[in-house]
Amino acid sequence: MDLLDKERLAPLYARELARFHARIPKSMAAREVARRFMPDGVPMSWMSAFFSHPPVFVDGGEGSVFRDIDGNEFVDFNLADLSNTVGYGKNAVSRALADCAARGIQYLQPSMDAINVSAALAARTGMPFWQYTGTASAANIEAIRIARAYTRRDKVVLFTGKYHGHIDTTLAKGGSPEGNEPARPSSMGVSARATADAVNVAFNDLDHLKAALGKGDVALVLIEPALTNCSLVLPDPGFLEGAFELTSAAGALFALDETHTLQMAYGGLIGERGLKADILTLGKGFGAGVSLGAYGLTPKLARFIDQHQDSDTVPEPGIALGGTTYGNALSMAGARAMLDEVATPEAHTRIAKLGARLADGLDAIIAKYDLPWRAFRYGPRSGFCLTPSLPRTYVQALRSVHADFYNLRHTYLANRGIWDAIVSAGPQVSFAHTEQDVDCYIEVCAELIDEIATG
Ligand code: PMP
C-alpha cells in the first residue's frame, strides 16, 4: 500500500482545503484588504509561501496555543520556525519586555542585560565573547566578514542542504570542491560574482571538505552542526570534530551556525558535545520572537575586531560591523529572561522528554500501518521521515519529505486545531508545550494516516 500515492492524497486534500477556507472567513477578508497595501497581502512574503493554504491573521494566544481572528485555536508545533520557543501570552519574557519597554526600548548604549545575556551564552556554549545583530542572517554576514578580514582570503565553504539566511554569498548552489567550477546563485537578484567565492560540499563527507580546503584559499567554513532546513540530517560521529581539525590545519576559520540547534539542546550542540569553533552564530528562539541575532567569538577574534574597529578618525578601513538597532535594550531584556528563566537546563530536559514522547507516538503509528518510514528524533524535534533510514546527506533528506503528503498534513491538522511545522522542518516541542499537546498531535496524525490508508 503506497500511502503517498497522488490518487489517495488529492481528494482528501481538496476536502480539507475547502474546510479550511470555510473556517477562516475573517482572515480571507483581511487578506483581500491587505492585498491593497502589501504584495500577496502579507508583510513578509514567506508568510504566504510557507503553506499551500492561505495564511491566518492572528489575534493572540496563551502557552502553546495561538488564536486567529476567526477564533480558531491552534496548538503550535511550528514555533514560528523556531523563532518563538517561549510560547504566547504572559510569561517571563513578555513581562521582561513590557517592563523594559515601559522604561525605554533603545538608547544606542549598552544596558546591563547585555552583560547578563553574554555571560549566560558564554556559560552554556563555552564561547567567551559576544556581539549582537538584528537577525541570524546578519550574524552570519558579520561572521563571513570577520573571517575574510582575519584570514585575508575570500572563499567560503558551505554544505549542500544548508540555509544560513538570505545572504548573497550563501545563496549559492553547486560548485566543485576543487574550485574548477564556481558555485552559482540560488536566487534571482544575486550576482554570479557574489557566489563565485562560495563552494558547497557534502555534509558528513570529510574528503569533500578536504578537497575544498586544498588550495589554501578558504576564509571560512560555515556549517550547521546538523542540517535542519531540509528535514533533519545529524552529523556522523566525529564529523564535526574532523571538520574543525581540517579547517584549522588549512588556516581557515570554522563557524558553527546554531540558529536552530540552540533550540534543540541546552547550549546547542557546541555546549552539549563540547565541539570546537572559532565563531558561533545564533538567532531566532533565544530572542524569544523579538528580532535578535548574535555571534560568539574566541579571544583571538574578539581581540582582532577590537583592534580593527571601523572609525572615521583613522585612515585605514577597519571591519564594518553593527547596525543602529543591534543590541538594543528591549531585545537584551527579552533574551535575558529567555536564557535565565525559560531555557534552563531543567526545561531543556523536560522538552527533550516531550520530543521523545512525540517521536515514540509517531513511530507507533508507523509500526501499526507497517510503513517504510520512521520518526525523526533530536531533543524536542521530531516528525515523519518518509524513508526507512534517517538521512545522512542532503539527497537522502530530500527523499524523507513529500510535498503532497505535507500539504495534506498541514491542512488536515490545522482543521483539527494543530499548526504543524513548515515542510523543511519538523514539529518541535516548545517550552510551553504539555504532554496533552504532544498526545493531541499524535492522535490527529493517527486519524490522518488511518483516513489515507482506508481511503
Ligand atoms: N541560520 C539558520 C541555520 C537558519 O535556519 C536560519 C533561518 N531559517 C537563519 C540562519 C536565518 O535566520 P533569520 O531569517 O532569522 O535571519
Residue 315 has pLDDT above 80, yes or no: no
Q: Select from 163, 262, 270, 279 the residue to mutate for testing ligand 1; criterion: most ligand atoms less than 8 Å from CB.
A: 163
pLDDT score recorded for residue 64? 98
As to burial, measured by CB atoms within 10 angstroms (0-12 exposed, 13-18 middle, 19+ buried), residue 96 is buried
- Which amino acid, residue 374? R
Query: pLDDT for 47-88, tens place per residue?
Result: 999 999 999 999 999 999 999 999 999 999 999 999 999 999
Share of the chain above pLDDT 90, in %: 96
Closest CA to 303 of 122, 114, 129, 126: 129
User: Distance between alpha carbon 167 and the CA centroid of its chain, in Å?
Assistant: 15
166-174 average pLDDT score: 96
- Under the banding of pLDDT at 50, 70 and 90, the label for residue 291 is very high
* Architecture in CATH for domain 92-342: 3-Layer(aba) Sandwich (3.40)
Query: pLDDT for 27-53, tens place per residue?
Result: 999 999 999 999 999 999 999 999 999
Whether 279 and 296 have beta carbons less than 8 Å apart is answered as yes
Q: Which value does ipTM take for this structure?
A: 0.99
Q: Please indicate whether the domains covering 6-85+345-454 and 92-342 agree at the CATH topology level.
A: no
Q: Select from 85, 132, 137 the residue to mutate for testing ligand 1; criterion: most ligand atoms less than 8 Å from CB.
A: 137
Nearest atom, ligand 1, residue 139 CA: 16
Residue 267 has pLDDT above 90, yes or no: yes
Cα separation of 324 and 197, whole Å? 28
Q: Select from 284, 423, 424, 428 the residue to mutate for testing ligand 1; criterion: most ligand atoms less than 8 Å from CB.
A: 284
Query: pLDDT for 90-100, tens place per residue?
Result: 999 999 999 99
Whether 97 and 334 have beta carbons less than 8 Å apart is answered as yes
CA of 182 to the centre of ligand 1 (A): 24
In DSSP terms, 254 is beta-bridged to: 221
Nearest atom, ligand 1, residue 137 CA: 16
The packing angle between helices 6-23 and 435-454, to 10°, is 130
Q: Is the dihedral of CA 440, 442, 447, 452 positive or negative?
A: positive
98-113 average pLDDT score: 98
CA of 258 to the centre of ligand 1 (A): 9
Residue 272 has pLDDT above 90, yes or no: yes
Residue with cell 486567529: 68
Cα separation of 27 and 118, whole Å? 40
- Under the banding of pLDDT at 50, 70 and 90, the label for residue 102 is very high
Q: Select from 259, 279, 290 the residue to mutate for testing ligand 1; criterion: most ligand atoms less than 8 Å from CB.
A: 259
Q: Whose CA is nearest to atom 1 of ligand 1?
A: 164
CA of 259 to the centre of ligand 1 (A): 6
Q: What is the DSSP string of 189-230?
A: T--HHHHTTEEEE-TT-HHHHHHHHTTS-EEEEEE-SSB-SS
Q: In 85-210, which ranges are E strands? A: 129-133, 155-159, 172-173, 184-185, 198-201
Which 3 state secondary structure label does DSSP give 306? helix
- Under the banding of pLDDT at 50, 70 and 90, the label for residue 178 is confident
Q: Whose CA is nearest to atom 14 of ligand 1?
A: 165
Nearest atom, ligand 1, residue 258 CA: 3
Residue with cell 536566487: 187
- Under the banding of pLDDT at 50, 70 and 90, the label for residue 435 is very high
Nearest atom, ligand 1, residue 224 CA: 3
- Under the banding of pLDDT at 50, 70 and 90, the label for residue 310 is confident
283-308 average pLDDT score: 96
Whether 424 and 431 have beta carbons less than 8 Å apart is answered as no
Q: How far is CA 80 from CA 85, 183, 202, 296, 344, in A?
A: 8, 30, 28, 24, 20
Residue 317 has pLDDT above 90, yes or no: no
Whether 111 and 329 have beta carbons less than 8 Å apart is answered as yes
- Rg of the chain over Cα atoms, rounded to whole angstroms, equals 22
- Under the banding of pLDDT at 50, 70 and 90, the label for residue 313 is confident
Residue 336 has pLDDT above 90, yes or no: yes
What residue segments make up the domains of the chain, in order of their start? 6-85+345-454, 92-342
Lowest mean pLDDT among 15-19, 79-83, 310-314: 310-314
Kindly list the protein residues whose Cβ atom lies closer than 6 A to any atom of ligand 1.
81, 135-137, 140, 163-165, 224, 229, 257, 259-260, 283-284
Q: Whose CA is nearest to atom 11 of ligand 1?
A: 165
Which 3 state secondary structure label does DSSP give 66? strand
Lowest mean pLDDT among 179-183, 238-242, 329-333: 179-183
Whether 412 and 441 have beta carbons less than 8 Å apart is answered as no
Nearest atom, ligand 1, residue 82 CA: 8
- Under the banding of pLDDT at 50, 70 and 90, the label for residue 177 is confident
CA of 12 to the centre of ligand 1 (A): 33
CA of 281 to the centre of ligand 1 (A): 10
pLDDT score recorded for residue 449? 97
Q: Are strands 129-133 and 184-185 parallel, antiparallel or unpaired?
A: unpaired
- Under the banding of pLDDT at 50, 70 and 90, the label for residue 230 is very high
Residue 314 has pLDDT above 80, yes or no: no
Cα separation of 200 and 448, whole Å? 38
Nearest atom, ligand 1, residue 83 CA: 15
Q: Is the pTM of this model over 0.95?
A: yes
Average pLDDT for the chain:
96
Residue 353 has pLDDT above 90, yes or no: yes
CA of 79 to the centre of ligand 1 (A): 14
pLDDT score recorded for residue 247? 98
251-259 average pLDDT score: 98
Residue 180 has pLDDT above 90, yes or no: no
CA of 226 to the centre of ligand 1 (A): 13
Nearest atom, ligand 1, residue 135 CA: 16
Whether 134 and 292 have beta carbons less than 8 Å apart is answered as yes
Q: How far is CA 183 from CA 169, 223, 376, in A?
A: 10, 16, 31
Q: Whose CA is nearest to atom 7 of ligand 1?
A: 165
Whether 277 and 240 have beta carbons less than 8 Å apart is answered as no
Q: What share of the chain is helix, strand, coil (3-state, %, to 5)?
A: 45, 15, 40
Give me the CATH topology for the region 6-85+345-454. Aspartate Aminotransferase, domain 1 (3.90.1150)
Residue 182 has pLDDT above 90, yes or no: no
Lowest mean pLDDT among 71-75, 180-184, 401-405, 420-424: 180-184
